[in-house]
Homo-oligomer: A and B are copies of this chain.
Amino acid sequence: MITVLRIGHRPERDKRITTHVALVARAFGADRILIDTRDPDLERNFESTCERWGGKVTIKSGTKHREAMKSFDGQIVHLTMYGEELHKAIATLDPAKDTMIVVGAEKVPREVYELSTINVSVGNQPHSEVAALAIFLYTFHGQKMPEFVDGKMKIVPDPRGKTVMELETPDD
């Protein structure tokens, strides 16, 4: 079970970046998304994506990061450009354990570093928490992404154009 915890979310400023974080979490195999600041709009948008495209990924905003981290029974990975090199870090993690991945915005409180099992970097250069989360999950899962079989539509990979299958469901 993989939880992604997004901290430092400011609904006015971060709606799009946090939406990208949530969609990446889902597409790269997380099961649960927690966001510190309450943002019902963002929850609704994410849930509507899940309805269309499938998957049982849950989202909940308004979760205090300290409590969530302290009460988490498993390993906690904090993604930061200051952390341990990705592959070295992953070698120390147990893929069978419940894992929480903490993704910060601009300023991350010191205690987040301390409450984490390990701080991990995807390159020690400034880039993007969206990219860091994608690369971490993709690498942690052996370069595999989950399939979603219960969506209302499905894309057939196409090198030249768009091929979308609409899957009928009884209540459509």
A residues touching B (Cβ–Cβ < 8 Å)? 16-17, 20, 23-24, 26-28, 49, 53, 81-85, 88-89, 113, 118-128, 130-131, 133-135, 138-139, 143, 145, 148, 154-164
- Which residue of chain B is the closest to A14 with respect to CB atoms? B16
Q: Is the CB of A121 within 8 A of B157?
A: yes
Closest B residue to A158 using CB positions? B82
* Contact present for B159 and A118 (CB under 8 Å): yes
* Residues of chain B contacted by A123 (CB below 8 angstroms): 27-28, 145
Chain B residues with Cβ below 8 Å from A134 are: 127-128, 130-131, 134-135
Asked if residues A82 and B163 are in contact (CB atoms below 8 Å), the reply is yes
Selected from B20, B27, B127, B164, the residue in CB contact (under 8 A) with A82 is B164
Complex contacts, A127 vs chain B, CB 8 Å: 20, 23-24, 26-28, 134
Q: Which residues of B contact A135 (CB under 8 A)?
A: 134-135, 138
Residues of B with C-beta under 8 A to A82: 155, 157-158, 161-164
Residue ID in chain B nearest A159 by CB atoms: B84
Listed residue (A23, A26, A49, A131) with the most chain B CB atoms within 10 angstroms of its CB: A131
Bound-state CA distance A127–B24 (Å) is 5
